[in-house]
């Protein structure tokens, strides 16, 4: 039986969310939750998800597990350079997955050169170079396999997949524009907006005509060559890092500070390492224009906002990483009565519920939430359990761990030193820190000056840890385990009483004992000190 047909049963109505008539039409932004009803009280689906990325798919699959009838709408509009991709959203196609594979390729290149010092006989190591076409083919083959598995999974779970661009007709009706231009209309009792975002293009001459973004780099049909990266957020630094390590000269324009929102001491360590590896940084600069030359190269001009000096250089590729915007404009949210939008078009919803009771949002489209795939997945699953199973649990957006996959990785969880100082006051926090020597950096002798970690804690005993930060090898793998400890309220007393695994870089957290306040030297005397 169609679940929508048994809604007159009171217990079922409570399970799937009560619906009442609209009492008034919203005319301005409001946080008031509005209840609404379809005319005859029946719907094609219990849940429709607009957006086939990680958060939307997780919500859809969990809803099916709870007995709901579900449809997923997903459509990828081509980038200005014509790049498109399949089902799965940003992470799978043009985000986390291809980025990590490119990062791994870069690390392998470094390892080949270091292998000689360990005794491996590598003939003509100086002639080793990356085959860009082979790399991108391997990456894209993996992505396509994930696209296929995702579609099969939806079919197996009997989730209807609609390859169409969805928009609201009314609070319960969605119109999908299909690839051939035809329209498909459907109704749903509950709707989840999970459309994510796309790269922002600065309003300068030549930006959309000649530049690429992270939407394009992982399937670029030619070696990028000498590359200018505009922007120093995590996407810009990660791309500049792996391009440089793959042998393509990289230059980064930094508008204000690198890795805005992250601990700035750690950000400085990341950029310092990148500079020592050959990446060029131009600080306090904004792009002015990009011009295509007769030989196909690109002339980029930029302005130093402090000195007002203009500079220019010629590149083979210009990659824009100047932020992302939410894809809400195309949704016709006015027709649904959704008004809880921020100035930049993101949805403001404290518990994923918008001002319209049956319309929700998860993932990058939400204002003030971490733009991270695991966050969207977890929030989507919890939302489905609340809506369709009456579960009480909400997403906890505090203490979410993340990692920047730059050549020397940066992993963190919790508050930065700046944020902790602002929240609790400088006199009420204690910062433990240390430089360390990874054993794997001894042969050959690699630069260790940026291998650094710190714990930000409350000063009062037992010194609950507010944030952990680590720059070094496999930072993502290390910070994941400590993230669980921070989530459980670990203190410095507990951390310092933990016995580390030697010789690992992760054990350095268990050896923290020097505070910044003490003024002592945080450099180790030896690997075992």
Q: Residue 405 and residue 270: Cα distance in Å, rounded?
A: 10
211 and 307 in a single domain? The answer is yes
The phi, psi pair for 508, rounded to 5°, reads: -60, -30
CA distances from 169 to 15, 60, 363 (A): 26, 21, 23
**Cβ proximity of 358 and 320 under 8 Å:** no
Boundary (domain end) residue, out of 301, 322, 343: 322
Question: In this structure, is residue 68 part of a structural domain?
Answer: no
Domain limits for position 235:
207-322
**Total count of domains within the chain:** 2
How many CB atoms within 10 Å of residue 517?
13
Question: pLDDT at position 28, please?
Answer: 36
- d(Cα 328, Cα 221) in Å, to the nearest integer? 30
Span between the terminal Cα atoms of the chain, in Å? 68
- DSSP state letter for 519: T
pTM of the model: 0.91
Here the contacts of 343-348 (C-beta below 8 Å, separation 24 or greater) are: 347/193, 348/31
Provide the pLDDT for residue 34.
54
Residue 266 sits in a domain whose CATH number is: 3.50.50.60
Residue 452 domain-assigned?
yes
In a domain, 297, yes or no: yes
In a domain, 54, yes or no: no
Strands 298-304 and 285-292, sheet pairing: antiparallel
CA-CA distances (angstroms) from residue 171 to 39, 50, 455? 11, 13, 47
Helix, strand, coil percentages for the chain (3-state, nearest 5):
35, 25, 45
Query: Does residue 222 lie in a domain region?
Result: yes
pLDDT of res. 41: 77
Number of other residues whose CB lies within 10 A of the CB of residue 302 = 23
440 by Cβ neighbours in 10 Å (0-12 / 13-18 / 19+) ranks as middle
Does 315 lie in the same domain as 213? yes
> What's the CATH number where 450 sits?
3.30.390.30
- Burial class (CB within 10 angstroms; exposed 0-12, middle 13-18, buried 19+) of 480: middle
Q: What is the pLDDT of residue 141?
A: 98
Q: Of 258, 293, 322, which one is at a domain's C-terminal end? A: 322
**126: exposed, middle or buried (Cβ count in 10 Å: 0-12, 13-18, 19+):** exposed
The C-alpha atoms of residue 334 and residue 486 are separated, in whole angstroms, by 41
Structure confidence at residue 388 (pLDDT): 98
Helix axes 264-276, 417-424, angle to 10 degrees: 170
Last residue of some domain: 322, 354, 375? Answer: 322
The encoded tokens of residue 179 equal 């690839």
Largest CA distance in the chain: 77
296 cis-preceded (ω within 30 degrees of 0):
no
Q: Is residue 296 part of a domain?
A: yes
Contact 478, 506 (CB under 8 A): yes
Q: Is residue 353 part of a domain?
A: no
- What are the pLDDT tens digits along the chain (529 aa)? 333 333 333 333 333 333 323 333 333 334 455 554 566 679 999 999 999 999 999 999 999 999 999 999 999 999 999 999 999 999 999 999 999 999 999 999 999 999 999 999 999 888 899 999 999 999 999 999 999 999 999 999 999 999 999 999 999 999 999 999 999 999 999 999 999 999 999 999 999 999 999 999 999 999 999 999 999 999 999 999 999 999 999 999 999 999 999 999 999 999 999 999 999 999 999 999 999 999 999 999 999 999 999 999 999 999 999 999 999 999 999 999 999 999 999 999 999 999 999 999 999 999 999 999 999 999 999 999 999 999 999 999 999 999 999 999 999 999 999 999 999 999 999 999 999 999 999 998 899 999 999 999 999 999 999 999 999 999 999 999 999 999 999 999 999 999 999 999 999 999 999 999 999 999 986 666 5
Q: Check: CB of residue 259 under 8 Å from CB of residue 237.
A: yes
Give the integer Cα–Cα distance in Å for 32 and 241: 45
The pLDDT of residue 6:
30
Backbone angles phi, psi at 350, to 5 degrees: -60, -40
pLDDT at 23: 30
Is there a domain that residue 440 lies in?
yes
Virtual CA dihedral for 78, 81, 87, 88, nearest 10 degrees? -120
Residues designated as active site: 502
């Amino acid at each position: 039986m169609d679940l929508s047909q048994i809604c007159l049963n009171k217990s079922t109505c409570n399970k799937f969310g009560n619906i009442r008539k609209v009492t008034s039409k919203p005319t301005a932004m409001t946080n008031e939750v509005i209840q609404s009803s379809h005319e005859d009280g029946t719907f094609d689906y219990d849940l429709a998800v607009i957006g086939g990325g990680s958060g939307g798919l997780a919500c859809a699959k969990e809803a099916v597990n709870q007995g709901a009838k579900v449809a997923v709408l997903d459509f990828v509009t081509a980038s200005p350079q014509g790049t498109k991709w399949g089902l799965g959203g940003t992470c799978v196609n043009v985000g986390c997955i291809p980025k990590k594979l490119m990062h791994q390729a870069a690390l392998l290149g470094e390892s080949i050169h270091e292998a000689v010092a360990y005794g491996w006989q590598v003939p003509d190591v100086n002639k080793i170079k990356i085959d860009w076409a082979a790399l991108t083919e391997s990456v894209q083959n993996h992505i396509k396999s994930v696209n296929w598995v995702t579609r099969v999974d939806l079919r197996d779970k009997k989730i209807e997949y609609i390859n169409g661009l969805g928009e609201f007709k009314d609070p319960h009706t969605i119109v999908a524009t299909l690839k051939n231009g035809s329209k498909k209309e459907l109704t749903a009792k509950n709707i989840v907006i999970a459309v994510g975002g796309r790269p922002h293009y600065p309003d300068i001459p030549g930006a959309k005509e000649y530049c690429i973004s992270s939407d394009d780099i992982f399937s670029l049909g030619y070696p990028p060559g000498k590359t200018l990266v505009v922007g120093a957020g995590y996407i810009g630094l990660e791309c500049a890092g792996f391009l440089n390590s793959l042998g393509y000269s990289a230059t980064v324009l930094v508008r204000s500070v690198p890795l805005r929102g992250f601990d700035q001491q750690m950000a400085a360590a990341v950029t310092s390492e990148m500079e020592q590896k050959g990446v060029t940084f131009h600080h306090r600069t904004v792009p002015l224009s990009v011009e295509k030359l007769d030989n196909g190269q690109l002339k980029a001009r930029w302005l130093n906002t402090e000195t007002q000096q203009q500079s220019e250089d010629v590149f083979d590729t210009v990659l824009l990483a100047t932020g992302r915007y939410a894809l809400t404009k195309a949704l016709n949210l006015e027709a649904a009565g959704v008004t809880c939008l921020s100035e930049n078009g993101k949805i403001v919803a404290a518990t994923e519920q918008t001002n319209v009771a049956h319309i929700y949002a998860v993932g990058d489209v939400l204002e003030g939430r971490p733009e991270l795939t695991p966050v969207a997945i977890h929030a989507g699953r919890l939302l489905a359990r609340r809506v369709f199973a009456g579960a009480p649990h909400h997403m906890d957006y505090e203490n979410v761990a993340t990692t920047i996959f730059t050549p020397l990785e940066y992993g963190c969880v919790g508050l930065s030193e700046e944020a902790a100082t602002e929240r609790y006051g400088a006199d009420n926090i204690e910062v433990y820190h240390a430089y360390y020597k990874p054993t794997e950096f001894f042969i050959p002798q690699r630069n260790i000056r940026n291998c650094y970690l710190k714990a930000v804690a409350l000063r009062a005993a037992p010194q609950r840890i507010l944030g952990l930060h680590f720059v070094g090898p496999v930072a993502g793998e290390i910070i994941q385990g400590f993230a669980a400890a921070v989530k459980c309220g670990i203190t410095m007393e507990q951390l310092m009483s933990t016995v580390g695994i030697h010789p690992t870089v992760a054990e350095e957290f268990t050896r923290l004992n020097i505070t910044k306040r003490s003024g002592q030297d945080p450099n180790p005397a030896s690997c075992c000190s």
